[in-house]
Amino acid sequence: MTVLRARDLGRKYRRRWALTGCDLDLPAGHVTGLVGPNGAGKSTLLGLAAGMVEPSSGTIEVCGDVPGSGPAQLAKVGFVAQHTPVYANLTVAEHLRLGAHLNPGWDDGLARDRIARIGLDPALPAGKLSGGQRAQLALTLGIAKRPELLLLDEPVASLDPVARREFLRDLMESVAEHGLSVVMSSHLIGDLERVCDHLVVLVDARVRITGEVEHLLATHRRLTGPRRDVGTLPADQHVVSVSHTDRQTSVLVRTEAPVLDPAWDVGEVDLEDLLLAYMSNPGTGRPPLEVVR
Amino acid sequence: MIEFHLDGKSGLSPYQQLVRQVRHALRLGLLREGDQLPKVKDVVADLAINPNTVLKAYRELEHDGLVAARPGVGTFVTGTLSGTSLAALAPLRQDLRRWLAKARRAGLDEESVEALFLTTFRSASREDIA
Amino acid sequence: MTWLTWRQLRFPLVSVYAALAVVTALLAGTRLVGGGDPGDGEFWYSAGLFAVNGLPVLLGVFWGVPMITRELEAGTHNLVWNQSVTRTRWLAVKLGIGVPAAALTAGLLSLVVTWWADPIDTSPVPERVRNFGRLMTPVVFAARGIAPVGYAAFAFVLGIAVAILLRRTVTAMAVTLVVYVAVQLAVPLAVRPHVLPPVGDTVAITAANIAGIQAEEGSGGDVPEALTVRGPAGAWVLTNETVDANGAVVRPLPAVVGGCLPPPVENAHDVDLAQIRACFARLSDHGYRQHLTYQPASRFWPLQWVELALFGVLSALVTWFCFVRLRRLS
């Protein structure tokens, strides 16, 4: 089942395309990591999925309907924006009250439980909270709403390591217990590795690569060997990144088949290598395959 | 019952680490037939890890015939990796020791030994595939 | 949603109503009933005019604008629009609470001030009215009766619309103020005089009814340019022109009255006004008459209703615009 489907989705701000030609099918019940350099279009994609931003081209469908199209649709999708906004003059308890008033599926037990566990004083105005506490409050609202899909824009950026781990644990428990789907953007590869089973890599307003993490790791190899022209590689080995020294060539390739050429020393790649290779080699807007041929 | 842990520097994905830790425990006799693996929910709570990753690891172990899932109860160990292989281990280890001593005498340091072993190991397994 | 909107508006609401109570108490203590020197009431009279004229735009600027911009500036629209409530409903509730609150506030203040000023507004003694405007004068008209209700509703939705367009509190406040003042100047100048066809009347120019003479400096002393006559009691006079026997407007005045103005004197008390008026009254001997168009005092209430309806329609248009633009807000 698909929780988010985009076809040729694009969004233009004045003259610049923040996102363009985006085709995605994200599966339900999974945690998708949204990765890319700053300004690659991550927030725009999340905003489009939440219905906060209207598409300039193409279509997007979330939980089977147009984002933001009505109260029923809004109830299905949770969104915690970057910088985790909260009402400065409302207390923590009033925020929970707000959540309870505005959401039919509100899980008050969960919300109170989380607030107590984090150690937030319910009587404190949200304006007096630290950045991390504010994020925890906004995230609590997002989780306790009990959406089918939770969209998180750099949710853990302002949390300390302990709070971050706790939050991810709560999030993963919701995934396990309620089949929640999550799409989250983050720069923290360690977190992504731990919690994401799908990835979308955005570079220069385009989707560079998307897929299941294990499948991506299994189909990418680092080849090192004597210096040579990568143009001579077999057609099924798509070059992602390449670097030469005067004697040696190191290539990161995507291939479904095993690499048989004995001249190469074949190594596995970890998620960080993979992401860095894609993010630092934006290509030319075409799949890497065509770049090589 | 065993407890999982994740090593961020291992170079292995969380899923691979879980599979490896179960296999390791089976090999060392820490897990025996009939033992229960930690519940997915508990692993998720302990490690803040994606439940799909845990499920995938358990499925792979099941596919290998090492564990079996009983719906609503949990996942239990059904196979074993120790036994015959444990007995065969000792002479192999002795051979390897001898080879290592030889390598040292030939002037190889630890890193060279490791590099030599890994490249030979890899090319050998590739020849097997081919 | 209602709770949240109420929670956000309760402080400004309570403070404004407290101020309203204080104003009512002050005015109740200073109302002129029966006799008394009208001069005593002048300060409160002006204060009342000022307050009722100013209140609607203040509500638009300090209630309407921040209701939207504070959410946009703090990013909390991202929070509230992602609960299970559409942004249309979010705005509808804000308007549903804000517009009646603003209209009621302005209505109450207008009611209090209208009641307070009633002895002055309805005084039949012309001298007593001298220091004060007449009911139909634009500045007084806008501070009496039910028109302020319409003004407040309009100012409030205007504040919301400008806030949605500009997103910044201070800029939106300034623009709201400017637009509101422009509308409040345009309506009495260009709309209100014509919504009901004005009454036309041609009267004889007599020494008794000349109210003012306008002159321009010429080479041989002042040259009379135009004159005005007194209109009907309490009417809002729109035009006041001298016409010849054929009904054509004459300006400057004909040569018959060229010598009526005395040479400049040092002491204004030395000028004999009666003599000058009599001199100008000679115009009627030559067939000149004065043409007036005006809205009579009896039209005060009809015009108030028209004004309320007009601002109601304006508010509805602006509200529609708000909902259209809201979809494009992000």
pLDDT digits (tens, 9 = 90+) for A264-284: 888 888 888 899 999 887 664
**pLDDT, tens digit (0-9, with 9 covering 90-100), for A49-95:** 999 999 999 999 999 899 988 899 999 999 998 888 899 989 999 99
% of chain B beyond a pLDDT of 90: 19
Distance, CA of A23 to CA of A8 (rounded, Å): 5
Q: Which residue has the higher pLDDT, A229 or C323?
A: C323
Cβ contacts from A onto C, under 8 A: 76
The answer, for B115 touching chain A at a CB cutoff of 8 Å, is no
Distance, CA of C260 to CA of C250 (rounded, Å): 17
**Segment C16-43 mean pLDDT:** 78
Quote helix, strand, coil % in chain A, to nearest 5.
35, 30, 35
Q: A200 - beta bridge partners? A: A34, A210
Q: Which residue has the higher pLDDT, A271 or C157?
A: C157
Distance, CA of A197 to CA of A174 (rounded, Å): 15
**Segment A149-160 mean pLDDT:** 89
Q: Pairing mode, if any, of strands A181-185 and A149-153?
A: parallel
**Segment A17-41 mean pLDDT:** 92
Per-residue confidence band for A285, with pLDDT thresholds at 50, 70 and 90: very low
Predicted local distance difference test score (pLDDT) of residue B87? 67
Kind plus residue range of the DSSP H or E element containing A17: strand A16-27
Q: Which residue has the higher pLDDT, A136 or C39?
A: A136
- Is a pLDDT exceeding 80 seen at residue A195? yes
List of chain B residues whose C-beta atoms are within 8 Å of the C-beta of residue A260: 126, 130
Quote helix, strand, coil % in chain B, to nearest 5.
60, 5, 35
List of chain A residues whose C-beta atoms are within 8 Å of the C-beta of residue C3: 97-98, 101
Over chain C, what is the mean pLDDT?
87
**Given the structure tokens 């490690």, which residue do they identify?**
B47
Residues of A with CB under 8 A from a CB of B: 29-31, 165-166, 168-169, 171-173, 175-177, 190, 193-197, 213-214, 217, 258, 260, 262, 265-266, 268, 270-271
Residue A182: name the closest of B44, B38, C329, B42 by CA: B44
- Is a pLDDT exceeding 80 seen at residue B97? yes
- Is a pLDDT exceeding 50 seen at residue A287? no
% of chain C beyond a pLDDT of 90: 48
**Segment A139-148 mean pLDDT:** 92
**pLDDT, tens digit (0-9, with 9 covering 90-100), for A92-143:** 999 999 999 999 999 999 999 989 988 899 999 999 998 888 888 998 999 9
Predicted local distance difference test score (pLDDT) of residue A238? 87
- Is a pLDDT exceeding 60 seen at residue A291? no
List of chain C residues whose C-beta atoms are within 8 Å of the C-beta of residue A83: 75
SS3 category, C141: helix
Contact between A227 and A285 under an 8 Å Cβ cutoff? The reply is no
**pLDDT, tens digit (0-9, with 9 covering 90-100), for B23-33:** 988 887 788 88
- Least confident range from B77-81, C4-8, C61-65: namely B77-81
Determine whether the interchain pair C84/A104 forms a contact, defined as Cβ–Cβ distance below 8 Å. yes
Predicted local distance difference test score (pLDDT) of residue C124? 66
List of chain A residues whose C-beta atoms are within 8 Å of the C-beta of residue C81: 51-52, 68, 74
- Is a pLDDT exceeding 70 seen at residue A42? yes
Q: Which residue has the higher pLDDT, A131 or C220?
A: A131
Determine whether the interchain pair A94/C7 forms a contact, defined as Cβ–Cβ distance below 8 Å. yes
Q: Pairing mode, if any, of strands B74-77 and B67-70?
A: antiparallel
Determine whether the interchain pair A258/B50 forms a contact, defined as Cβ–Cβ distance below 8 Å. no
List of chain C residues whose C-beta atoms are within 8 Å of the C-beta of residue A75: 84
Other beta carbons less than 10 A from residue A134's beta carbon: 21
Predicted local distance difference test score (pLDDT) of residue A87? 93
**pLDDT, tens digit (0-9, with 9 covering 90-100), for B36-73:** 999 988 899 888 899 988 999 999 999 988 899 888 88
Give A179's DSSP letter. -
Determine whether the interchain pair A71/C85 forms a contact, defined as Cβ–Cβ distance below 8 Å. yes
**Given the structure tokens 């080479």, which residue do they identify?**
C219
Predicted local distance difference test score (pLDDT) of residue C66? 94
- Is a pLDDT exceeding 60 seen at residue B84? no
% of chain A beyond a pLDDT of 70: 96
Over chain A, what is the mean pLDDT?
88
Per-residue confidence band for C57, with pLDDT thresholds at 50, 70 and 90: very high
Q: Which residue has the higher pLDDT, C294 or B13?
A: C294
* B6, closest residue in chain A (CA to CA): A194
Cα radius of gyration (chain A) = 21
AA identity, residue A217: L
Q: φ, ψ for residue C329 (rounded to 5)?
A: -75, 145
Distance, CA of A156 to CA of A82 (rounded, Å): 10
Predicted local distance difference test score (pLDDT) of residue A288? 37
C169-181 exposure pattern, b = at least 16 Cβ within 10 A, e = fewer: beebbebbbebbe
Per-residue confidence band for C279, with pLDDT thresholds at 50, 70 and 90: confident
